[in-house]
Structures are given as C-alpha cells and as structure tokens.
Amino acid sequence: MEFSILAMLVLLVVFVVSAVFLHLWRSPKAMEDIPGTLGWPIIGESFSFISDFSSPSGIYSFMKKRQERYGKVFKSFVLGRFTVFMTGREASKILLTGKDGMVSLNLFYTGQQVLGPTSLLQTTGEEHKRLRRLIAEPLSIDGLKKYFQFINALAIETLDQWEGRKVLVLEEASTFTLTVIGHMIMSLEPKGEEQEKFRSNFKIISSSFASLPFKLPGTAFHRGIQARDRMYSMLDNVISKRREGQGFQNDFLESLIIKHSKAADGEADKDKLTDKQMKDNVLTLLVAGHDTTTAALTWLMKFLGENPQVLQRLREEHMEIQAKGKGGANLSWSEVNNMPYTAKVISETLRRATILPWFSRKAAQDFEIDGYKIEKGWSVNLDVVSIHHDPEIFPQPEVFYPSRFDEPLKPFSFLGFGSGPRMCPGINLAKLEISIFIHHLACRYKWTPLERDDSVQPTLVRMPKNKYPVLVEPL
C-alpha cells in the first residue's frame, strides 16, 4: 500500500485530469452551506493533503488545522473527490452504523479492482450480511481454538530467532501474521516453496491497493492484478484437488468448499458461494487479517519501549501467568484469555496509533449530519484520529496510559476495530495473535530501539516509517 511522494504526485495528476469535467459539470454550490474550502480550481487541497499525509502525525495534521478553523464538519476537494470530513461520536454513530442504508464503503478504485466485486468489502445489504456470517465462522471463538497451538508454537519459533540481533519489528511481525492467516485459511505450511510464492504474491497485491489506476505493464496496479491472478491460480489448484478428494484439510477454505458442494435448491442455497466469491473473499480475509495486526504489534512494541513503567506492569502480568500456570510453550487458551492489563495495552495502542486514521464512506442517499445536508454520491470521511485524541474523552491524549480503559467508555469514542455492521470481523484473531506474541516476548526479552523516529509511512494503514529497528537481548 505504500505511496512514494513522487507516485502520489503522479496519482494526483491522474485524478486532476479525470476531475476536470467533474469540476466543470457539477457545481460545488450544493456544498456552500458546509464550512471549509475547495481550494484551487481543479486541484483543490490535494497538495496539502499529500504533504500532511506523509508527515509524522499523518493525516491528523490536515484534519486538525481545518477543524480549528471550520469546526468538526468541513468540506474539501482532494484527489479528484468532493469530500466532507467529519469527526465526533455523533458522526461516527451515523456513518459506522449505516442506519437505513445511508452510506456504503468507499474503497480506492484499485482496491476495488484487485479484491473483486464479490468481496465482503464491496457488497452491501443482505449479501454483505450473508458473506460476513460465512467469513466470521473461522474467526469465532470456537473457530480460533483449533489454531491456538499453531499460533503459540509459531510465536515461540519466531522469537527464538531474535536473541542478540538487530530486528526490524515491522517485517518480523508481517511474516508472523501472514503465516498465521495463510495457515488458517488454506493450511499453508510455515515454510517451503508454496509459502514463499504465497508471501511474494501477497506483498505485491498489498502494495497495489492505492497505486496508479492504470493496468500498464510495469505499474504497481498491473503487478498487483498479475499477482492476484497468480494467487487465484494457486487457489484454483487447491480447490480442484480437494474436490477430487486429495489433501483434505480442516481449514476455512475446506468449509467453504463443503458448503458449496452440498448446497442445493431452497434453504441450503444461502450458504452457496461460487468459486469467484470464494477466491475474492479468501483474498479479502488475507488482506484484512494481515496489515492491521502487523501494524498493531509493531506500534505496541514501540510504545512499550518508550514507556518502561507500562512495560514493567505488563511483564509482571505475564511472569505471574508463567509462575502460576504452565505458560511458555504450554500456554493455555484460558491463560491467554485472562490477561486484563494486556487487553488494555492493546486498546491503548490502537487508540494512540490509530492504525486506520479514517473510515471512508460514500453517501448512498441524501441525509443530514450536525445540521449539514450531505448529498447522495459524496465521499464522507470520518476522522478517527481526532476522536481518539479528543481530550474531553481521553485526558492527556498523547500520553500512553492503558489504565484509561479501566472504566467503560462512551459508545463510538473508541474505534480501534471500527464499529457497526462493518466492524472488523477479525477482532478476536488480532487480539489472540498479539496476546500470545507479547506473552513470550515479555517473558524472554528486553529490546532497545536503534532509531528515534516518529515518522509514519505514507500508507493507508499507519506504520512506523523506519520499521522500528531494535536490538534484542535476553532478560
């Protein structure tokens, strides 16, 4: 998903050209009642948006300057789109619950093309509910229990290789989370040729989501489509073999294949998916189950390294688990689900880092919010960073303080996993992966950051720009 500044500027040019007619044909008069500015003709505020997007504080800089001038709701014209930005609990309630079908998800064009039209992220209404129900099955508590020991063993194996060396945490976390989700979905072995092909194709796909929207040879978008097709070819081969009775596995893909083959007319048809739907949603799960968890694990280590008192309290919790129970290689499901302070550290990480800095929606109908009329078709972005850094909700918001989650928060004030019908279906998997990994890390190692850099990558998912390099030593 990474943008270089040059690529973003080129992308801007593309959007500008395509937006010329939009700007001429559609008068912004409808937005006159909404405070803010549309910026320069045709270009809008895109240069400011791109510049702030790549700054250490990310898109928060763009939002904050305009909120101070215009309030919680303001208009802009960025990257070829008339856009309304908004923040606050009331806005998050309306946009994320999607009451009465007012809004739909608003993916980048390239993301739409790569993921495919039958992806959970592109469907709406009853079809979205049906797909979400099918996809949620392996991510349920019961579904995750059978993968617990695999995740635990993989965390130990990963950390065995860290002692006494420089580690780029982001890269290591990426390998760990991708191996987990690949095993859960299609029983990929942690190592081997198939795993390497899978990992290589996935990285290309991931980097293409916000690329130039041209399928020209050599472009990131073209490479992403090619990698997607190679991934689908791998899936076609696996699906074909399993239907022939070869290589049965008790994984997510197998459950979809069984439902597909057994589904018939009538009521059973509700669980039937075409091969295209299966592949689109396997890829969707891979994407959704990787980047955000990778970023969360990296930020968590960074914040722990910067806050020794928090790290000490977290370490005490895990040392106590190890002392009272089996811990370590024999860590149990009940133990990993009884880590109250760790759960608060995870929540505070998601609040402080705000890995998904905004949620983009498209108005599916005219509606009003905070007294302003929003027209059908407009892009409406919910600024999550400002919600997570509102001092009225989170006193001293720049301080990393997990105990602020000792008491329940007001609804729609913490959006670490989103909310409403499109709340992250992998919330339990993410918490499980992070809790297991942190248990072994805290009980075995101390780490020293090798660079002091708060810059973020100019990506859709916020990640440390330097990949958080650390020197790892045993306790």
Q: How buried is residue 162: exposed, middle or buried, by Cβ count under 10 Å (0-12/13-18/19+)?
A: buried
In 28-100 the beta strands, taken as DSSP E runs, fall at: 73-78, 81-86
- Burial class for 341, CB neighbours closer than 10 Å (0-12, 13-18, 19+): middle
Strand 379-383 versus strand 81-86 pairing type:
parallel
Euclidean distance between CA atoms 147 and 53, whole angstroms? 37
Query: 472 has which bridge partners?
Result: 447
CA distance 384 to 350: 11
Reduce the DSSP state of residue 374 to 3 states and report it. strand
Query: Dihedral (C-alpha) 90, 93, 98, 103: value to the nearest 10 degrees?
Result: 40
What does the angle CA 32 – CA 35 – CA 41 come to, to the nearest 5 degrees? 65
What one-letter code names the amino acid at 193?
Answer: E
DSSP 167: E
Query: Of the candidates 20, 27, 11, which has an alpha carbon nearest to the alpha carbon of residue 108?
Result: 11
Rounded Cα–Cα distance for residues 317 and 341 (Å): 7
- N- to C-terminal Cα distance for the chain? 36
Q: In what order do the strands lie in the sheet with 469-474?
A: 166-168, 469-474, 445-449
The token pair that represents 195 in the structure block: 């795993």
Facing residues of 470 across strands? 167, 449
Say whether 443 counts as a known binding-site residue.
no
Annotated binding residues for heme? 424
| Residues annotated in a binding site | 424
